[in-house]
Amino acid sequence: MRPLRLPLAALLVVLGGCDSVGLGGPALPQADAEGWDEMLVAVNDLRAQGATCGGERMAPAPPLVWDARLEAAALGHSRDMADTERFSHRGSDGLGTGERVRRAGYDWRVVGENIARYQRTVPEVIEDWAESPDHCRQLLSPRFFEIGAAEVDGYWTQVFGVPR
């Protein structure tokens, strides 16, 4: 069952900045959602419990659904960060989260992203994100419905979305 969708006016775009680049460009790698069951379970377990994020109590949130397009966007960004040894929400091509997600074929109303590096396991990266107020709020935000994630050579990307 999909959670209730909020009116468009109630939704905010969660980006570091707005991109105005066209939709052309190289295709992102294909994603494998079955390989990320551990991430989905860990995120949904945290959402079911709720958490305190930087002193703010976040109520339990509905579970997220895995989306292969969001995973493909996450994989492309993790691969780019690993290949260029850059750690940023902006790719080496200058594109931000929203444009990467659109290029992966996901037509979004709301999108958000968590990144991390050097963690070795899903539990370790989830724990680190849960201890960071802004990352924790993304993990617990009830406004997101779907998720995709990837890790390449210690660079982690998690992408949250609400489709149009």
Q: 């079911």: which residue's tokens?
A: 48
Q: What is the pLDDT of residue 35?
A: 57
Q: What is the pLDDT of residue 34?
A: 52
Q: What is the pLDDT of residues 41-77, one digit of tens each?
A: 999 999 999 999 999 999 999 999 999 999 999 999 9
Q: What is the pLDDT of residues 129-150, one digit of tens each?
A: 999 999 999 999 999 999 999 9
pTM confidence score: 0.79
Report residue 96's pLDDT band, with 50, 70 and 90 as the boundaries.
very high
How far is it, in rounded angstroms, from Cα 142 to Cα 64?
A: 9
Q: Give the DSSP per-residue string, the chain.
A: -PPPPPPGGG-----SS-----S-SPPPPP--GGGGHHHHHHHHHHHHH-EEETTEEEPP-PPPEE-HHHHHHHHHHHHHHHHHT--SSS-TTS--HHHHHHHTT--EEEEEEEEEES--SHHHHHHHHHHSHHHHHHHH-TT--EEEEEEETTEEEEEEEEE-
Beta bridge partners of residue 3, listed in sequence order: none
Does the pLDDT value for residue 158 go beyond 70? yes
